[in-house]
Amino acid sequence: MAIMINEEECVGCESCVELCPDVFALNEAGDKAMVLAPDSTAECVDEAIENCPSGAISRA
């Protein structure tokens, strides 16, 4: 299942980056998160999904 971020919902809070830096990073503008490893099975991904305040992260 691929990890996805809805850019329209992302508020750029960086919680996913702090929880799972090998999978998430901020874009060049520093205002939205992006996925570095869309097929990652790291446990921290689930924690990032649960802690995203805007609900922008999902698996598809």
DSSP string, 13-40: --HHHHH-TTTEEE-TTSSSEEES-TT-
Instruction: Domains for the chain: give ranges and CATH numbers.
Output: 3-54 (3.30.70.20)
Which pLDDT band, with edges at 50, 70 and 90, does 29 fall under?
Answer: very high
Mean pLDDT, to the nearest integer, of 5-15? 97
* Beta bridge partner(s), residue 33: 26
Please give the Cα distance from 60 to 58 (Å, whole number): 7
The backbone torsions φ and ψ at residue 17, rounded to the nearest 5 degrees and listed phi first, read -65, -40
Which pLDDT band, with edges at 50, 70 and 90, does 3 fall under?
Answer: very high
- Would strands 33-35 and 24-26 be described as parallel, antiparallel, or unpaired? antiparallel
